[in-house]
Each structure stands twice: as C-alpha cells, then as structure tokens.
Amino acid sequence: MKPMYLHKSHSIVIGYALWVFGFTGAHRFYYGKPLTGTLWFFTLGLLGVGWLIDLFLVPSMDRRASNTFQPGLYDYNIAWLLLAFLGIFGIHRFYQKKWLTGLLYLVSGGLFLIGIIYDYWTLNSQIAEKNRFSYY
C-alpha cells in the first residue's frame, strides 16, 4: 500500500469545479498556468470561447500539473481551497507554516489583495518548494 502522500498533486474534480468559474482563470492558476490565467481573468475566458474549449482541456492540464508538481506532505488541493475561500485571512499561509505572512495577511486583508494575487501566481511553486524540503 502506498503512503497517503504519494497521490497525484492535483485533482481533476477540483479542476472542473474551478472551471465553472473559468472565466476568471481560476482553473488555469490552479494548474500552474498563471499567464493564461491572467489573460482569462481580464478577457472573461477569451469572451467565453477559451472557457468553453477548456472544458475539454482540463484532463490534459490535470495530467501535466500532476507530472510537473511534486506531491508530498503539503497538499496542493487543500492549499488551493484555502487560498480560494479564505486567502484574505491568510489561512493558506498558516497551512504552509508561514506564520509571519499569515498574520500579516490576517490583519491587512491579504496584504490589501496584492498578496492574494501574488499567491495565485505562485502557490503551486510555494507548495512544491515546501514538499521538496519537508521530511515525512
């Protein structure tokens, strides 16, 4: 039996759940595509056309992300759910044991939302780095 932390890094179920809000680029950020995520955000999913095409691209984005990002002690799915729903309070930073920035986000509304945008761009790499240096 494999240890629990040896699972895929990303979930296709969460990918499709974020695709529902795909016109904001959420699913693209989740799968480690910040440039196109930003483009989707500012163009409403390429005026809905790119969003609709992504319905068929989510499985390949899921495979690519799972091959690119190292699973480990810190779960990408938990971190992304915490960022998406509680990011303004820094809960995703507390999850990563980044206590100082977690407190800073808590008292500043996600560092006046600029920190939240930064985390949308970099959360996958933050978790990958934590997993690379964490011991089981």
pLDDT tens digit string along 75-127? Answer: 999 999 999 889 999 999 999 999 999 999 999 999 898 999 999 999 999 99
CA dihedral 114, 120, 126, 128 (to 10 degrees): -170
pTM: 0.87
**101 close to 67: Cβ distance less than 8 angstroms:** no
Domain residue ranges of the chain, discontinuous segments joined by +: 12-68, 76-132
Q: What one-character DSSP code corresponds to residue 70? A: P
Query: Quick check: 2 pLDDT over 90?
Result: no
Cβ neighbors of 78 (< 8 A, separation 6 or more) are 95
| Distance of alpha carbon 50 from alpha carbon 117, whole angstroms | 21
| Distance of alpha carbon 29 from alpha carbon 33, whole angstroms | 5
